[in-house]
Chain A
């Protein structure tokens, strides 16, 4: 699980062009939106694409993302349980 969390941090930095952020600066329980990493609505859509493209998880309702993208830890748990690739 620790590996998946690190992988997710790297992917998020790359996919969301967070050029001023280091992997070590993202805590497993940090909020991804709001006061945490400060991601926005376009980033949320980008994360939905990332789930499908890299882990074969297709969210039926984009609103599900709100809970899944709470933090790296929550996201990694969800991926581990639902991934198809």
Chain B
């Protein structure tokens, strides 16, 4: 097992209608009245051209956009970049939409396009497809951002050379309340990877 030093190369936060990269506000949108509108405005701001984005549910859109912010202006992700994500509400936001569509036996038309997003780990699938990752991934559900788990799990992947870098973090959404934090862990960077730093950056 390797015992190298690892760093937090970049981190991204999406909260309160705003996006922050490495602690700096890079975009804010107080005009959009819905989360879907907010996500679309970020998509335009980032200059993305990826039609599949519009098919994603809101949870996926948030995770996907945060990953795009994270790697914006940076190197292409290595295909062994692992993804270690977590949240509290799982895919509840979309689960409810699916539930509504199967509530009435007389009007029973579940949407396959909604159903495919009734698992939170699909976020990692979308990020992997976009960036052609063939890597380890894991999604954890916890009451709050579990720094210990994120740090330990990511560090094991790096030390055992299962991954050359890791994107870890928290992508939570429940009834329009969202909280997103992703950190890119790598051999390069200025912020040394420690539990304390990870926790500090999440709580910024």
Contact = CB atoms under 8 A, between A and B. Distances in A.
A70 to B, nearest CB: 20
Interface in B103-123: 109-113, 116
B187 to A, nearest CB: 37
A61 interface: no
Interface string A17-53: 1111000000000000000001000110110010011
B55 interface: yes
Contacts, number: 30
B112 A42 contact: yes
A53 B106 CA distance: 11
A16 interface: yes
Nearest to A54: B109
A45 B112 contact: yes
A18 B54 contact: yes
A17 B43 CA distance: 15
A interface, size bucket:
10 to 19
A16 B113 CA distance: 8
22 contacts: A15-B113, A16-B55, A16-B113, A17-B54, A17-B55, A18-B54, A19-B40, A19-B51, A20-B51, A38-B51, A42-B55, A42-B112, A42-B113, A42-B116, A43-B113, A45-B113, A46-B111, A46-B112, A49-B110, A49-B111, A49-B112, A53-B109
Given A18-B54, A19-B40, A19-B51, 14 more contacts: A17-B54, A17-B113, A38-B51, A42-B55, A42-B113, A42-B116, A43-B113, A46-B111, A49-B109, A49-B110, A49-B111, A49-B112, A52-B109, A53-B109
Interface of A: 15-20, 38, 42-43, 45-46, 49, 52-53
